[in-house]
């Protein structure tokens, strides 16, 4: 089968032929119709995780996919061959299997029957980003009447976080250059960091500071606009975890796209109450270039690779 993969340690990702994976107990083999790209794919491709988790080469990239069940392993009862599904591959050792391929094996615990109102492209874009956003929103205890800053809102997680916060009645401030798109998703104010320090711009609109922060951007404390927060404001972060302040809880989010988390989100998307913000749809042959765009932080919304 064709796949975007890293052939060996230290090599660049390429599109080539790798074996079709075998399905085992508690697993589901699907024929992929669509697979999402995520920033973690760039980290794996660059070898960032090689010192943390063992890798078994060739490593196929991709964590999220949607497609049609080819086979279900022993112990799997909630899906059968022919079902349209979506799911996720967690970062468990060894790192090898990925979704940017014509076939993929997914753990049954992450596999959800795709709602009829959801396309394969939408379903593939949902698991990792939507689960991360949902967990971040829960971690800060977002509720009506609060003002929440989403730092780095332009990507996939941010697009879901903005909507989920707005649905809870929170006032959302989003950082990003794509004002119209983020406003349409539910942001009340969009701050472009190119116009000056984020904290200064936020405080100009909200002098007393914001009630919570979801941080999706930055590798240093300087990237995180802590000055815009009230002293006890909680932080949920998928990026840089700033130094803890007195009375300020910090939640480091590790997305867990199990089906009990992603299935309700998929139903919301199918019903039209949650937008799956897919901005870029490409064939597998363009996936390498798209991976570079995501890795450099220039992607907007979700990027999905489709298969014939």
Q: What is the mean pLDDT of residues 111-129?
A: 97
> In this structure, are 138 and 244 located in the same domain?
yes
> In this structure, are 6 and 121 located in the same domain?
yes
Q: Does some domain include residue 7?
A: yes
Q: Does some domain include residue 228?
A: yes
Give 265-288 pLDDT, tens digit per residue: 999 999 999 999 998 999 999 999
> In this structure, are 157 and 194 located in the same domain?
yes
Give 19-75 pLDDT, tens digit per residue: 999 999 999 999 999 999 998 999 999 988 888 899 999 999 999 999 999 999 999
> In this structure, are 239 and 222 located in the same domain?
yes
Burial of 176 (0-12, 13-18, 19+ CB in 10 A): buried
> In this structure, are 101 and 200 located in the same domain?
no
Q: Could you tell me the CATH number of the domain that includes residue 61?
A: 3.90.180.10
Q: What is the pLDDT of residue 292?
A: 87
> In this structure, are 233 and 144 located in the same domain?
yes
> In this structure, are 50 and 141 located in the same domain?
no
Q: Give the β-pairing of 250-252 and 235-237.
A: parallel
Answer for the pair 264, 127: CB distance below 8 angstroms, yes or no. no
Whole-angstrom distance, CA of residue 86 vs CA of residue 107: 11
Burial of 217 (0-12, 13-18, 19+ CB in 10 A): buried
Q: Does some domain include residue 269?
A: no
Q: What is the pLDDT of residue 243?
A: 67
Q: Does some domain include residue 89?
A: yes
Q: How many domains would you assign to the chain?
A: 2
Looking at the predicted structure, is the pLDDT value of residue 10 above 60?
A: yes
In the numeric block, which tokens belong to residue 126? Answer: 């949902």
* Average pLDDT over the chain, rounded to an integer: 93
Q: Does some domain include residue 268?
A: no
Q: What is the pLDDT of residue 295?
A: 77
Q: Does some domain include residue 225?
A: yes
Whole-angstrom distance, CA of residue 198 vs CA of residue 122: 31
> In this structure, are 83 and 144 located in the same domain?
no
> In this structure, are 12 and 98 located in the same domain?
yes
How far is residue 237 CA from its own chain's centroid? 13
Q: What is the pLDDT of residue 181?
A: 94
Full residue range of the structural domain in which residue 161 is found: 129-252
Looking at the predicted structure, is the pLDDT value of residue 241 above 90?
A: no
**pLDDT bucket at 244, cuts 50 / 70 / 90:** low
In the numeric block, which tokens belong to residue 45? Answer: 């491709």
Whole-angstrom distance, CA of residue 1 vs CA of residue 215: 38
> In this structure, are 139 and 77 located in the same domain?
no
Q: What is the pLDDT of residue 239?
A: 80
Q: Does some domain include residue 160?
A: yes
Answer for the pair 213, 146: CB distance below 8 angstroms, yes or no. no
Whole-angstrom distance, CA of residue 217 vs CA of residue 237: 9
How far is residue 13 CA from its own chain's centroid? 20
Whole-angstrom distance, CA of residue 149 vs CA of residue 210: 7
* Sole residue written with tokens 């007393």: 208
**pLDDT bucket at 246, cuts 50 / 70 / 90:** low
Whole-angstrom distance, CA of residue 187 vs CA of residue 166: 7
> In this structure, are 115 and 150 located in the same domain?
no
Q: What is the DSSP string of 238-261?
A: SS--PPP-TT--EEE------HHH
Q: Does some domain include residue 288?
A: yes
> In this structure, are 21 and 121 located in the same domain?
yes
């Amino acid at each position: 089968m064709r796949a975007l993969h890293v052939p060996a340690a230290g090599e660049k990702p390429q599109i080539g032929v790798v074996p079709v994976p075998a399905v085992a107990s508690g697993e589901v083999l699907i024929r992929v119709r669509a697979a999402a790209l995520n920033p973690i794919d760039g980290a794996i491709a660059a070898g960032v995780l090689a010192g943390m988790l063992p890798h078994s080469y060739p490593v196929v990239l991709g964590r999220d996919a949607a497609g049609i069940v080819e086979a279900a392993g022993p112990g799997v009862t909630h899906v059968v061959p022919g079902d349209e599904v979506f799911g996720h591959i967690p970062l468990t050792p060894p790192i090898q299997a990925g979704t940017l391929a014509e076939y993929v094996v997914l753990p049954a615990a992450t596999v959800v029957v795709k709602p009829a109102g959801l396309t394969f492209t939408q379903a593939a874009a949902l698991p990792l980003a939507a689960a991360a956003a949902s967990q971040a929103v829960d971690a800060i205890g977002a509720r009506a009447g609060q003002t929440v800053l989403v730092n780095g809102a332009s990507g996939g997680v941010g697009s879901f976080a903005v909507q989920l916060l707005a649905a809870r009645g929170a006032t959302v401030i989003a950082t990003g250059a794509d004002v119209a798109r983020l406003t349409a998703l539910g942001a009340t104010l969009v701050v472009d960091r190119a116009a000056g320090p984020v904290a200064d711009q936020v405080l100009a609109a909200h002098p007393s500071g914001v009630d919570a922060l979801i941080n999706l951007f930055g590798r240093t404390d300087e990237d995180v606009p802590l000055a815009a927060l009230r002293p006890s404001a909680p932080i949920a972060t998928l990026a840089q975890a700033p130094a803890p302040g007195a009375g300020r809880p910090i939640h480091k989010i590790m997305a867990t796209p199990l089906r009990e988390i992603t299935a309700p989100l998929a139903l919301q998307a199918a019903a039209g109450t949650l937008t799956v913000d897919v901005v870029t749809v490409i064939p597998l042959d363009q996936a390498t270039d798209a991976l570079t765009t995501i890795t450099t932080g220039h992607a907007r919304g979700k990027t999905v690779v489709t298969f014939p």
